[in-house]
Amino acid sequence: MRSRSILAAGFAATVVFVGAGCGGAGAPAGAQGGAAVVAPADTVAFVAVDTDVSSTQWQALDGVLAKLSAGRLLAEFEQLQPALGPEVDLVVLPSTSGGKPEAVLLAQPTDPSKLDAELAKLSTKPLTARVGGWTAVSESKDALAALTGASGHLSDSSVYREAQAKLAGDALVRAYANGAEARQLVASLAAAAPAGKQLVWAAADVVASGNGLRVHGFVRQDGGQAPQPYDAALLDRIPGDTLAVADFVPQHHQAAAAAPSSALGAALRSVAGSLSGETAVYVGPAAPLPAVTLVTQGSDPQPLVSALHALLGNVGSALPSGKTGSFDLGALLGGLQLSHAVVGSDVVVSTSQAAVDAFRGNGRKLGDAPTFKAAGVPAQTTGFVYVDLKDAGPLLQGLARLAGGAGATGMPSLGALRSLTAYGSGSSGGISSFTAYLEVQ
């Protein structure tokens, strides 16, 4: 299928999602406020996407696409852009009937006839309306009425303005959710108010640069305690050739609440209860399968080893019997033998004795690895996830071939992708922040 057709289908799918009240896409305001000046004050969520192909963000995105050998996508999108205009915004509204939320797509097409042509391709043509210089598109008559008849607007909300002040003014994508409206919606759908921390607002942006795409996110919550940053000391112990790692300080009450009430859930709670202080789970190269290692603070490895064996056994028995591809994954998990050691103040448990030896050895460590250093994880963090896509690609393709899964031999190369990183930066003034970064080379 030509990429032009893919983009047209994607636009059509966005409009369908708007009509169904399930989701969609929108655009950041090139002009101050964008469609927030016409969005009702009780908007649940607002998403804005810059669709001006002459903007600095689209020029940066073009550089990323060129490195991924996908530069023709920008040229294809330029043909569709007149139907959208310089920005496209999505407004998600609470349902007037107490059901699913309703959504409206707003655009300022430079060529309205092209927008009409795209909408005509849909099997069910949505409704449209004009409001404040915007073309609103929805399959909900009530949603359009709420938009055109709004007496108060999102741009006047102090909550919205506080959230927007955290975001980059020239971002490719900007997103916002109102916590009070979202809680009310969840309560109406679930017939119960959610417990725990109360979300005031959440916001995020996507910024393109010549080296990749970065997401900055911010959350304001009332009540409860925000995650506290810690020094990621394990970076000086985890081997430098690690392919993927998750580093965190366990929150036992959250793990207990998330675990299902079953034998598998009991095993998960047992593992979580054995973790203490800074903890890391990481994957390193090994043959024939990658080595998985867990490190946590402690002086006795036996409780954690026993809990992990119980967890592996429960996961193995829960998988469908018989072979998947060329091996039985359930039998493999249930039969794994774990190596372990106490290294200083840390308990190390791994599927590979070599990985345990590498942890306590003096070789290059992850904190000094060039790819990880380029990812920009701060010395103090509330937790991070890192994947070395540059070196993990051949391993993933090898695992696909080993599993004998469908399309294993045709798995695409990760090509210019270098790393994927996400980390929390702590809380200030009641606002927690996080960053995710996809780096290309």
| pLDDT values of the chain reduced to their tens digit, one per residue, 441 residues | 333 333 343 444 444 433 333 333 333 333 346 899 999 999 999 999 999 999 999 999 988 888 887 777 778 888 889 999 999 999 999 877 667 788 999 999 999 999 999 899 888 889 999 999 999 999 999 999 999 999 999 999 999 999 999 999 899 999 999 988 877 765 555 444 445 568 899 999 999 987 899 999 999 988 767 778 999 999 999 999 999 999 999 986 666 566 666 777 888 888 999 999 999 999 998 877 789 999 999 999 999 999 988 887 766 566 565 444 555 554 555 557 889 999 999 999 999 999 999 999 999 999 999 889 888 898 899 999 999 988 876 666 665 555 555 444 444 445 788 899 999 988 888 899 999 999 998
State residue 430's pLDDT score. 83
State residue 221's pLDDT score. 86
Report the relative pairing of strands 384-387 and 173-178 from DSSP bridges.
unpaired
State residue 70's pLDDT score. 76
Structure tokens at 139: 């399959």
State residue 267's pLDDT score. 83
Distances (CA, A) of 136 to 2, 84, 128, 426: 28, 11, 5, 39
Q: Which of 20, 85, 89 is nearest to 55 (CA)?
A: 85
Q: Which of 170, 169, 172, 162 is nearest to 203 (CA)?
A: 162
Q: Which of 269, 227, 267, 263 is nearest to 248 (CA)?
A: 227
Q: Please list the residues that pair with 90 across neighbouring strands.
A: 47, 105
What is the rounded CA–CA span in Å between residue 420 and residue 244?
Answer: 9
State residue 290's pLDDT score. 86
Three-class SS state of 440:
strand
Three-class SS state of 11:
helix
State residue 35's pLDDT score. 95
Name the residue with tokens 């024939």: 288
Report the relative pairing of strands 279-284 and 291-297 from DSSP bridges.
antiparallel
Q: How far is CA 234 from the centre of its chain?
A: 24
State residue 435's pLDDT score. 95
State residue 199's pLDDT score. 85
Q: Which of 184, 182, 188 is nearest to 202 (CA)?
A: 182
Name the residue with tokens 């290692």: 293
Provide the sign of the torsion angle of the four alpha carbons 174, 8, 110, 78, taken in this order: positive
State residue 75's pLDDT score. 81
State residue 23's pLDDT score. 36
Contact by Cβ (8 Å): 70, 416: no
Q: Please list the residues that pair with 403 across neighbouring strands.
A: none
What is the rounded CA–CA span in Å between residue 387 and residue 395?
Answer: 12
Provide the sign of the torsion angle of the four alpha carbons 120, 139, 84, 147, taken in this order: positive
